[in-house]
Structure 1
Amino acid sequence: LPEDIWNHIRSLVPLRGAARAACVSGAFLRSWRYHPNLTLTVQSLGYFDFTRKVDHILEKHSGVGVKKLDLEFIECYNANASNHLDSWLQIDYYDNYIFVLKYEFPCSVLSDGSGSSIRYLDLEGCAFRPAVQLGHLGCLARLHLHCVHITGDELECLLSNSLALERLELRDCHEIICLKIPYLLCHLSYLHVYGCNMLRAIENKAPNLRSICLRSLPAQLPPGQSLQLGESLQLKNIEMWCFNPVYYARAELPLVAPNLETLTVGSMLEMVNTPMAPSRFLHLKHLSIHLVGVNLSPEYDYFLLASFIDASPSLKTFILRAPLTLTKHESIIGGSSDLRQMPQHRHHNLQSFKITCFGSAKTLIELTCHVLENTSSLECVTLDTTTSEAFRCSDDNSTKCVPMPKDNNLEAQKALLAIEMYIKMKVPDAVKLDVVEPCRRCHAIEL
């Protein structure tokens, strides 16, 4: 076979296998020099004499067809190691992936066109200080920064030189106060931000950003303030796990992202009730609100969550995960049985309505009744009175259900009673009501 075909065949062999084959076959002696994926880590090479081994590999590699360099440099980092790493990164034939740990990245290696062929850049635990002279990263499609020391202005500089970027993921980058996404990023469709405790605002101008995931952000969304998403007319999917997101989502998102289709909101803290805002989600089809782990005020009004449904004429599915603190709310069992009603808004698209951790809180009963009485398209209602969707004794892989606190078990029994007294008679014949109750064998209790 021609030599180029042999080189291609050799490149398909895993690196460890290529090394073993080189020990027993002269034909494969140099096969690893054409391997496209280089994983140079302490795990793969061993701690002893790590830098010498990497030096030898990078000096001897042909540079033909390299697509990925996975370089882990944390366990063996020392004062002299930076010189080695600088020289390794000067090699310009890597075109897909660089991974660096515990290091101040030399941005000069990306200048003068050196980084123009990189398609995937993943940096972790390092400092990255791009300057104006940073070269264009014309092929960079994915950028992941994890625990990287970089400011908002420095990141903007990097983004302005990455016009082909499609995905941006930031995790625990605590020097970023304002994330500015320039208009020139026409291909950017996905943004994921996790942690980043100093983040105060996101100014998005990317015209085709479709999905945003914001997790574990600091408490920067009090009433009267909002997380700036800029020109986000094309946003279709938003997932938010932060402080006061339910209030913010209802009050601000219809104006910020009017074409939203899927919204997932996870609250770490809710200070106020959901507002009855006039703005609408005309295209929203799927809504999930998670309040698990939130210590809500006993005055929190679940009934006002109906504002989301009334504002979303295209909504098909609505999932609410209630908190475990429902026992603090006024129960309809033993309390007032007068149920409030909202001005009628008929819903003609909502098909599935589900509440997990369902309890006997009066406002939760009012929300459920509102949906049942005003939805002509409803097909299924699920009321799960358990505290967890984890394994149950009815599953094949378990002999006992997940333990359930006594207070929550008692609340579940009250919820079942409330369903019998106030909800079942409102369920239309064409709607399937699925009530999930605690296992009677593992969680038997008397009221």
Structure 2
Amino acid sequence: MRAVVHGKATKSEGCARNNLKKRPQAFRLHHLPLDVLRVILSQLSFKEAARTSIVSRKWKRLWRYYPKLVLTRDTMLGSSNAAGDHPTSNATTFIRRANSIVRQLSSSSSATLNKFIVKFPLLRSDADHIDRWVSLSGASRARRIVLDLCPEFEKFNDKDQMYSFPLHLFTGGSCVGGNSCVKSLCLGFVSLNLLQLPAAGTNRLTILKKLTLHKVSIAGDLQSLLLECDVLEWLSLTFCSLQHRDLVIHQPLQRLRYLRVLRCRLQKLELKALSLTEFEFANHQVPLVLGDCINMSMASVELLLPSDGFDYACTKLPVALPHVCDRLTLSMGIRTENICGLWFQAPLLMKGGSVFANLRHLILNVHIDGCPKASTGVLRLAYLLQLAPVLEELELHMCCVSTPFYTPDLDAAATSPVAAACLHERLRTVHMTGFYGIRGQLELAHRILRSTAALDRLIIDPRLKVDHYFRDRAYAGMGRTMATLCINKAQFPGTVITIL
């Protein structure tokens, strides 16, 4: 190889330079097809996509092809939203910036959206601006729509201030092309007037798979809308106000798999959903008619306080949820008073009735109220084992409101070795929390130990896992002491008893 002499390049270096000059022009990202650029943009966040406008002159309007419109506090206000800023000034800034983005997207004939999200506390007085944003989502055929206008403070939770959502813009007859394109609809703090919709059978939300309503005021018959959601798989109603307190759907929802109805003040819930696998419900004790949900695996039922929910749990729930198999979570209140001396009839309530024939895991969240000296109210919980003949695991999370009353004198009927026959053959694990050591809890522990044939482990934990607005009052130590004194581990050699 020739060496470099007096600053002259070698022969090989000169060839390399000539080859560089003959190479084609460097690859440019903006030469990619628009469809490819849209895919690349979709992998970015909304902020990152907007920043591409400063890359080059050719990319100045590229962000308009971003398939998601996300108008939230973070994207519109960002770091400028100081904690001390006035809510009115924040709302004004949010609206001004959102309008600027919507105006540019509206001027672009090629703007299409897969996702449209607005999350910011706005009121009916801002309807002119919200209408403009919602109209864009309809014109751009957005598939997922989220409009969450929930206020930050409960004192502003006034129904008269709710924005009226124009659902008619997304029904089949009003959509571009005559077909609805919304697959997921999530609304928060808005009003829905179903009386203004077209007559039934006009192809409403025919491809809607997920409907989530939170703090929504519904005027009209909700069931008339749900009946036309042929492929609905997910339905969630939380803190909603329904004009008709009875939610009754006579025709089956064939594809519904998840149903959540929380604190909607219903007087009755009735529907048919053969494919339902998960159910959540929080309400007062009302009739539940769920048809033959043979595929249900998990259910959660919260009976609102202050009523005693034991009888409802024993007689009504097994009829409504007979097929739940994997896990049932039941939250309720019970009272410890011996009401008219009728607590002994608790087993009679279940004779000849329905049971949870397939249930393997039961979680009980129990709010205990009443006289701390009475034990019968708590002891009734042992009868729930008869409702689940194949139960394998029981979690009992208790919260005692009253000041505990401690006594080593327990009821002989609850602690006698011959008082309780082996009622359960498969229960292996019991976990009790909130164990303050009151008489009812101690007798319940004895009844469970003597009513099970295959119990492997009993865990007693004085700490609270379920706190209904009450705090641990330093009774944990006393609960631990009472459990140690009153539960003789030697009497149950086949069970590992752990006192935490």
Shorter chain as denominator, the TM-score bin is 0.7 to 0.9
Q: Find 1:416's aligned residue among 481, 489, 495.
A: 481
Aligned to 1:308: 384
* TM-score normalised per structure 2: 0.73
Aligned to 2:369: 295
Q: Which amino acid aligns with 2:320?
A: V
Q: Go from structure 1 to structure 2 and tell me whether the alpha carbon gap of 1:307 and 1:149 turns closer, same or farther (over 3 Å shift).
A: same
Q: Go from structure 1 to structure 2 and tell me whether the alpha carbon gap of 1:150 and 1:270 turns closer, same or farther (over 3 Å shift).
A: farther
Paired residue secondary structure (1:231): coil
Q: Find 1:67's aligned residue among 114, 130, 138.
A: 114
2:340 paired with 1:275: no
Aligned to 1:146: 214
Aligned to 2:291: 231
Counterpart Cα distance in 2 of 1:45 and 1:61: 21
Paired residue secondary structure (2:211): strand
2:140 paired with 1:97: no
Q: Aligned ranges for residues 140-219 of structure 1 at < 5 Å? A: 140-151=208-219, 153-175=220-242, 176-197=244-265, 199-215=266-282, 217=283, 219=284
Q: Find 1:33's aligned residue among 64, 69, 74.
A: 64
Paired residue secondary structure (1:143): strand
Q: Which amino acid aligns with 2:319?
A: L
Q: Go from structure 1 to structure 2 and tell me whether the alpha carbon gap of 1:361 and 1:87 turns closer, same or farther (over 3 Å shift).
A: closer
Q: Go from structure 1 to structure 2 and tell me whether the alpha carbon gap of 1:7 and 1:62 turns closer, same or farther (over 3 Å shift).
A: farther
2:87 paired with 1:20: no
Paired residue secondary structure (1:323): strand
Q: Which segments of structure 1 move beyond 6 Å, counting only runs of 4 or more?
A: none
Q: Percent identity?
A: 22
Counterpart Cα distance in 2 of 1:356 and 1:364: 10
Structure 2: 5+ residue runs without aligned partners?
1-31, 78-91, 150-161
Q: How many aligned residue pairs are there?
A: 410
**1:267–1:291: 8 Å Cα contact kept in structure 2?**
yes
Aligned to 1:5: 36
Q: What is the CA-CA distance between 1:141 and the residue it aligns to? A: 1.1
Counterpart Cα distance in 2 of 1:3 and 1:414: 69
Aligned to 1:397: none
Paired residue secondary structure (1:413): helix
Counterpart Cα distance in 2 of 1:2 and 1:65: 17
**2:115–2:142: 8 Å Cα contact kept in structure 1?**
yes
Q: Aligned ranges for residues 431-442 of structure 1 at < 5 Å? A: 431-436=495-500
2:129 paired with 1:81: yes
Aligned to 1:122: 186
Q: Go from structure 1 to structure 2 and tell me whether the alpha carbon gap of 1:415 and 1:23 turns closer, same or farther (over 3 Å shift).
A: closer
Paired residue secondary structure (1:378): coil
Q: What is the CA-CA distance between 1:182 and the residue it aligns to? A: 4.5
- The structure richer in helix per residue is 2
Asked which structure has the greater CA Rg, the reply is 2
Counterpart Cα distance in 1 of 2:128 and 2:472: 55
Deviations 1:211-255 (A, max 9, x none): 21123x2x4x2xxxx422241432332211223443312112222
Structure 1: 5+ residue runs without aligned partners?
391-402, 437-447
Deviations 1:335-385 (A, max 9, x none): 655535655234221111111122333332232223222323222110112
Q: Superposition RMSD on alpha carbons, in Å?
A: 3.1
Counterpart Cα distance in 1 of 2:466 and 2:312: 28
Paired residue secondary structure (1:267): strand
